[in-house]
Amino acid sequence: RKPRTGLATIAALALFFVFATNAAWSDSTDLPRNGGRVTDEARIISPGVVSELQKLLSTHEKKYSNLVFVVTLTSLRGNDIKTAAHELGRYWNIGFGTGSRNVFFIISPTERQVRIHVGKELQTPLSDAIAARIIADTIVPHFRDGRFEQGILDGARMVVSTLENQGATDELDPGSILFLSLA
């Protein structure tokens, strides 16, 4: 009779790696603390632009109750950017599930990755397709030219503008209503 240590060893190692990966992210010393609307761990945003972003995001929050965060990371710590967004949200106690009106605009210049991570409640006006278009058309061209601050600022403006204009194309203006009633 042969012992079945091979299968047990593989299972134990797999379990170890799952817990080790989660432990790396759950270690509070490894993740940046919540710096408010703008957390610049990668230190690529000047104080003036941080101030401008904070004003933009604060004004939007007061008017629409959406929380938009701009986060730069020095590293994704071995994870993909989507996992980084989830883990950072969990660490900061910011949800993205049902009823959440939160957006993470995350930039990791080291890995050259950008993500606009959107809470469930805002996925209609700011769908994955629209977020991808903002990244490709607005943010990435600036980043390619080495203008990170401009890409971040314009990207944040586009996110806010998209959220503020939600449903605007579905509504009729008063002139259209008058035209339809005359017809």
pLDDT tens-digit profile of 160-177? Answer: 999 999 744 434 344 433
Q: Which residues of 85-97 are buried (b: 16+ CB within 10 A; e: fewer)?
A: bbbbbebbebebe
- pLDDT tens-digit map of 73-106: 999 999 999 999 999 999 999 988 778 899 999 9
pLDDT of 180 higher than 50: no
Predicted local confidence at residue 98, as pLDDT: 78
Predicted local confidence at residue 103, as pLDDT: 96
pLDDT of 55 higher than 90: yes
Predicted local confidence at residue 130, as pLDDT: 96
pLDDT of 24 higher than 60: no
Predicted local confidence at residue 177, as pLDDT: 37
Query: If phi over 0 gives left and psi between -120 and 50 gives alpha, with beta otherwise, what is residue 77?
Result: left
**Greater pLDDT, 5 or 123:** 123
Token look-up 């769908």 returns 127
- CA-to-CA distance for 17 and 13, rounded, in angstroms? 6
- pLDDT tens-digit map of 100-147: 899 999 999 999 999 999 999 999 999 999 999 999 999 999 999 999
Where residue 154 falls among pLDDT bands split at 50, 70, 90?
Answer: very high
Give the contacts of 27 (CB within 8 A, at least 6 positions apart).
none
Phi, psi of 90 (to 5 degrees): -65, -45
